[in-house]
Chain A
Amino acid sequence: MMRIDVGSVLRHSANLPYGDLVTRSTGAAVRRCIEAELAGLGEDDVATLDFTHIGMMDYSCADEVVAKLLLDLARRGARPSSLVFHGITDAHLEAIEDVLLHHGLALVVHFADGAARLVGAVSEEERIIWQLVHTRGGVQAEDLAAERDRAADEVLLVLEALYDRRLLRRDGFTFAPIGVVS
């Protein structure tokens, strides 16, 4: 798993002497540096973007660093297979949620206290299924179907949709959380 310290990217790679992700030009500079680092990853790798050393983030920066990054990766079919955001606080979340909803995107966020959450444009059923997978650590559609009192093929559709959006990983018939931080 590759871990990218966004604070370090901001100050060293992008060479900007700040602790906050504000302004679109700052966001674009940071995104370009992150894209360069991600280019070296192999298929099915998971990259963690660590925001622990970032103060606040505004909408313009969130659009560049979060939304554009996810959109560009999806558009180019680029690897890594998944991105996880770590060290997220309330100082980041408002802007991140806004831009994700605007673009119809979603991502997995690991908060500073260790909790994980699916953030962005997902249905209530997707959120529940994702949470169940995250709690169990690895399940098949049949297991969840019994628990949700739903047909297995319906649950499988939801799981596959989450996998296609890089919000879960898959090993055969088993679906598991991505980027569990040890």
Chain B
Amino acid sequence: MTAVITVPASLDDTTFELVFEQLAAQPADAKVIVDARHCTWASPYGLVNLLTLAQSRTERPTFLIPEDQDKVTYWARAGFFKFATELYDVQGTIPRPRGSGDSDVLLDLTQITKSDDVHDVVERVKDKVTQIIINKLHLAARATMGITMALSESCQNIIEHAGRGGWVMAQTYQYRKRLGGRHAIVIAVSDAGVGFRRSLESSPRRPMTDRWSDGFALETAFVSGVSRFPEPGRGQGLKGIRGYVNRWDGKFTVRSGTARIGMIPTWDDDVPRADGLAPFPGAQLQITIPEKVAA
């Protein structure tokens, strides 16, 4: 039996929960058709997770591309179809990608499978990130290094913990609703690996509690900085990202399994922790750094 997973018209971290919910109703080996025909907008979180979705399936899924050719062209330029065609049976005409050429795309969709990929990401973004931080977000030059470090650490999370490859994408946006027209950098990182709970379960550092859950595991790693590795310096990457995001009034969320945890700034109305979400493997990170408000 084949199930159709409908992609919402606007695909971001909030609306992707609708995709996870539809997917959770299907057995892992069921054939699914991911129907993006009516999708008119997707954030980096949406695009990286469409790839992760396919990676999580036993049976190769089918993907119906957006009807809006502008969107298809944009997704192609962002590198989406380069990976999607490896993971999905893609139905529809895909234009030949001609490089992003888009000043808003900080980092095209990039696959992360090994340490060299992280070096490549850092090398590719560092010139452009300086321009964006200073000219669009009006932050101090020191913020440039922090965002590159956040990218590096979140990508390393895949290599160190996921047990399989994942994807990263970064872009700037002008937020019309929540940020009153301010610009923001958005970084999304996703994998379909073992996730935080199973990663910590493989370690003696896992807290022994009968309340153990995806949410507890996320809190253990995100708030307490506990990693599956025993060395005292481990687990500091997430803590470092939190410190950076907090310093620049940003938002940082991590979803894993059936839970999501986040550092939520005052300009956003998300909740700091959500449990009982639709199950999905691996870890899905999103970092948002907004433009500085003029004093």
A-facing mask of B226-248, CB < 8 A → 1, else 0? 00000011101101100110000
Inter-chain CA distance A63–B232, complex, in Å, is: 10
- Per the 8 Å Cβ criterion, residues 15-67 of A in contact with B are 18-20, 22-26, 55-56, 58-60, 63-64, 67
Cβ contact of A58, chosen from B153, B159, B239, cutoff 8 A? B153
Asked if B146 and A94 make an inter-chain contact with CB atoms under 8 angstroms apart, the answer reads yes
B-chain residues with CB within 8 Å of residue A25 when the two chains form the complex: 115
Segment with Cβ contacts to B, from A76-84, A95-103, A142-150, A159-167: A95-103
Inter-chain CA distance A18–B118, complex, in Å, is: 11
Inter-chain CA distance A18–B116, complex, in Å, is: 10
The interface residues of chain B, by DSSP majority, are classed as: helix
B-chain residues with CB within 8 Å of residue A157 when the two chains form the complex: none
* A59-B240, A102-B233 given; A90·B145 CB < 8 A: yes
| Residue B141 is within 8 A (CB to CB) of chain A in the complex | yes
The interface residues of chain A, by DSSP majority, are classed as: helix
Asked if A94 and B115 make an inter-chain contact with CB atoms under 8 angstroms apart, the answer reads no
Cβ contact of B122, chosen from A22, A67, A68, cutoff 8 A? A22
Asked if A24 and B160 make an inter-chain contact with CB atoms under 8 angstroms apart, the answer reads yes
| Residue B70 is within 8 A (CB to CB) of chain A in the complex | no
Asked if B122 and A94 make an inter-chain contact with CB atoms under 8 angstroms apart, the answer reads no
Asked if A98 and B240 make an inter-chain contact with CB atoms under 8 angstroms apart, the answer reads yes
| Residue A91 is within 8 A (CB to CB) of chain B in the complex | yes
| Residue B268 is within 8 A (CB to CB) of chain A in the complex | no
Asked if A20 and B233 make an inter-chain contact with CB atoms under 8 angstroms apart, the answer reads no
Asked if A94 and B149 make an inter-chain contact with CB atoms under 8 angstroms apart, the answer reads yes
A80 to chain B, nearest CB (A): 22
Number of cross-chain contacts by CB at 8 Å: 76
| Residue B269 is within 8 A (CB to CB) of chain A in the complex | no
- Per the 8 Å Cβ criterion, residues 112-132 of B in contact with A are 115, 118-119, 122-123, 126
B-chain residues with CB within 8 Å of residue A99 when the two chains form the complex: 233, 236
Asked if A56 and B142 make an inter-chain contact with CB atoms under 8 angstroms apart, the answer reads no
Asked if B236 and A23 make an inter-chain contact with CB atoms under 8 angstroms apart, the answer reads no
* A90-B141, A91-B145, A95-B240 given; A20·B156 CB < 8 A: no
Asked if B145 and A59 make an inter-chain contact with CB atoms under 8 angstroms apart, the answer reads no
A-facing mask of B209-238, CB < 8 A → 1, else 0? 000000000000000000000001110110
A-chain residues with CB within 8 Å of residue B115 when the two chains form the complex: 23, 25-26
Q: List 22 A-B contacts (CB under 8 A).
A: A18-B119, A20-B119, A22-B149, A23-B115, A23-B119, A23-B152, A24-B160, A55-B126, A56-B149, A58-B237, A59-B153, A59-B236, A59-B237, A63-B234, A64-B233, A67-B233, A91-B145, A94-B146, A98-B236, A98-B243, A102-B233, A102-B239
Q: Which are the 5 A-B pairs with shortest beta-carbon distances?
A: A63-B233, A59-B240, A58-B152, A58-B149, A22-B152
Interface positions of A (Cβ within 8 A of B): 18-20, 22-26, 55-56, 58-60, 63-64, 67-68, 90-91, 94-95, 98-99, 102-103
- For the complex with contacts A59-B237, A63-B236, 18 further pairs of A-B residues with Cβ separation under 8 Å are A20-B126, A23-B118, A26-B115, A56-B122, A56-B126, A56-B148, A56-B149, A58-B237, A59-B149, A60-B156, A60-B236, A63-B234, A68-B233, A94-B244, A98-B240, A98-B243, A99-B236, A102-B233
